[in-house]
Amino acid sequence: MTLNAHKAKMLIDKSFRISDIDPRIYGSFIEQLGRAVYGGIYELSHSSADEDGFRQDVIELVKELRVPIIRYPGGNMVSAYNWEDGIGPKELRPKRLDLAWNSLETNEVGTNEFAAWAKKVNAEVMMAVNLGTRGIDAARNLVEYCNHPGGTYWSDLRKEHGYTDPHNIKVWCLGNEMDGPWQIGMKTAYEYGRLAAETAKAMKLVDPSIELVSCGSSGSGMPTFPEWEAETLEHTYEAADYISLHQYYGNRDNDSANYLASTLDMDSFIKTVTAACDYMKAKKRSKKTMNLSFDEWNVWFHSNDQDKAIEPWSLSPPLLEDIYTFEDALLVGSMLNTLLKHSDRVKIACMAQLVNVIAPIMTETGGGIWKQSIFYPFYYTSVYGRGTALHSIVDSPKYDSKDFTDVPFLDQSVVYNEESEELVIFAVNRSLDTQLLVDVDIRSFEGYKLAEQIVLKNENPKAVNSINDEQVKPEKGNDSYIENGTLTAVLPKMSWNMFRLKKLEV
């Protein structure tokens, strides 16, 4: 077992606290795009549809993931969306061209239906407003429609539409990716900063209890990053509560060692945005600390070519239907580790997206449902990664790849749940060919035993799941052990692992 193994060391201590983890770090995203809504969460004629047309098989799997907040309705789609199209009697709702995705939008599902669905999956809605083609007026009216109790035009209209109680949507995004040339109504940093600040002011006048997310860069590779953050925050720092980050990775060059190191970029992206926020805090002599909303993150590249062949103005076309490999699941595990290690500043994060569109959950329209490879690291981290994130001191062997130097083979995060007396370590071995033995000093967790080790491993980095064949699925590991205050953790080559330790009952 120890032949040809890399060796690493970790020191974990109860007092090495990063932060309490905001559960909203396990958020997700449903955009009115492709088959996310129609044929995904909603399918009136499906055998599992409930009285509102929502697929109950989807509801069950979404509940399994314990997603506490879901961003809606876009994404790029929101930047030319008239929210008023999606309310009121369904037969009167207009069909529109969705300019972001070259598709047809029937508006059969809109604000109220989505809010009702979110309740069914125990999630809150994170609503985005259109700052592309619209602005202050549409945004403040939407807040009034959703959150005002009654006695005004928009709140009474909501009641008339059958929703007596306000939706009380707490978190709102001030537009989407407004720095992107692909965005309808793209803005310069100055234009966006001013519009976002004034929109924020009006929205908070309608409902002072809401929280707002100002658009950051659409990715670390944007030519305007991080100047965009510095200039927009000049206007939005006091009005907004969070700044957004978006990032997708893909193994485009089929270079797995380099691909699995992508989270070094994610880590530096988060650090730079945090620095931009803190610079603005100092510049403005502000008492407030701006936190981060990493509200789009995932792997996205498999479907890029096939999407070019999709007929324009189709109804719920199969867009962005990436089929994820085993190695994608490892990267998703690492992305979650990165979010946890920055949980002192990242308070909201949304895996993009949730169903069918770059998603952990896939459905067949009129058929069954299945879990992609990336479902599993998300599931375990969301279920067991609650509590306090802990720093760990790590000594790991490293490698260099095309874009990165000093990449540790060991990528890890640690969560301590004081209430349930559990210590959970999430760990990825990035090595393509060599097992990793990690000696973890856990002396500050006296009396803890190894309750379970879950491993995601596969001989084939390109293995995928489908409705009939689940090639990538977790299994129980049994070769790690605790002795004299040290956990000896055995991580197979290219693997994602969860070690769950629990205090012994006395």
Among 27, 39, 40, 74, binds ligand AHR (CB under 6 A): 74
Residue 165 has a CB neighbour count (10 Å cut-off) of: 9
Compute φ and ψ for 164, nearest 5 degrees.
-65, -45
How many residues would you count in the chain? 506
| In the complex, minimum distance from the CB of residue 244 to ligand AHR, in angstroms, rounded to a whole number | 10
Q: Which residues pair with 361 in a beta bridge?
A: 355, 371
Closer to ligand AHR at the Cβ: 77 or 340?
77
Which residue in 113, 177, 241, 422 binds ligand AHR (CB under 6 A)? 177
- Segment interacting with ligand AHR (CB under 6 A) among 73-81, 195-203, 229-237, 383-391: 73-81
296 is catalytic: yes
Contact 346, 270 (CB under 8 A): yes
Q: Which amino acid is at 225?
A: F
Minimum distance from residue 176 beta carbon to ligand AHR (Å):
5
Of 11-19, 72-80, 271-279, 387-395, the window that binds ligand AHR (rule: CB under 6 A) is 72-80
In sequence order, the β-bridge partners of residue 104 are: 97, 315
Least Cβ distance, residue 430 to ligand AHR (angstroms): 26
User: Apex CA 138: angle with CA 135 and CA 143, to 5°?
Assistant: 115
Rank residues 279 and 301 by Cβ distance to ligand AHR and give the closer one. Answer: 301
**What is the DSSP track for 334-363?**
HHHHHHHHTTTTEEEEEEE-SBSSS-SEEE
Given the residues 105, 296, 327, 422, the one annotated as active site: 296
Q: Which of residues 203-262 bind ligand AHR (CB under 6 A)?
A: 218
Give the span between the Cα atoms of 207 and 172, in whole angstroms: 11
Residues in contact with ligand AHR, counted by CB under 6 A, come to a total of 10
CB 355 within 8 A of CB 36: yes
Nearer to ligand AHR, 31 or 84 (CB): 31
Task: Find tokens 């109790």 and name the residue.
Answer: 149
Q: Which of 64, 118, 20, 129 is nearest to 347 (CA)?
A: 20
Pick between residue 70 and residue 280 the one whose CB is nearest to ligand AHR.
Answer: 70
Binding string to ligand AHR for residues 284 to 323, with x set by CB under 6 A, is what?
A: ------------x---------------------------
Residue range at the interface with ligand AHR (CB under 6 A); choices 7-15, 71-79, 385-393, 479-487: 71-79
Of 105 and 411, which CB lies nearer to ligand AHR in the complex structure? 105
227/321 with CB nearer ligand AHR: 321
Question: Among 70-78, 230-238, 409-417, 425-433, which window interacts with ligand AHR (CB under 6 A)?
Answer: 70-78
In this chain, which of 236, 263, 353, 373 binds ligand AHR, going by CB under 6 A? Answer: 353
Q: Which stretch binds ligand AHR (CB under 6 A): 69-77, 148-156, 399-407, 450-458?
A: 69-77
Residues 444-473 that bind ligand AHR (CB under 6 A): none
Closest approach, Cβ 83 to ligand AHR, in A, equals: 16
Say if residues 403 and 379 touch (Cβ distance below 8 Å).
Answer: no
Strand order in the sheet with 435-441: 475-477, 448-457, 495-503, 422-429, 410-417, 388-395, 5-20, 435-441, 486-491, 481-483
* Interatomic CA distance for residues 360 and 353, integer angstroms: 8
* Residue 352 found at the interface with ligand AHR (CB under 6 A): yes
Torsion angle of the four alpha carbons 444, 347, 65, 353, in this order, in degrees rounded to the nearest 10: -140
Q: Which is nearer to ligand AHR, 294 or 384 (CB)?
A: 294
13/425 Cα distance (integer angstroms):
12
Q: Tell me the closest approach of the beta carbon of residue 331 to ligand AHR, in angstroms.
A: 16
CA–CA gap between residue 36 and residue 317 (Å, rounded): 10
Of the pair 31, 207, the CB lying nearest ligand AHR is at 31
Q: Which residues pair with 247 in a beta bridge?
A: 297
Q: How far is the CB of 5 from ligand AHR (least distance, A)?
A: 39
Q: How many other CB atoms are there within 10 angstroms of residue 162's CB atom?
A: 10
Active-site pick, 177, 231, 327, 422: 177
> How is the beta sheet containing 96-98 ordered, strand by strand?
96-98, 103-105, 314-315
| Nearest position to ligand AHR, beta carbon | 75
CB of 321 to ligand AHR, least distance (A): 12
Is 177 considered catalytic here? yes
| Contact between residue 341 and residue 348 where contact means Cβ atoms under 8 Å apart | no
Active site residues: 177, 296
The residues binding ligand AHR (CB under 6 A) are 31, 74-76, 176-177, 218, 296, 352-353
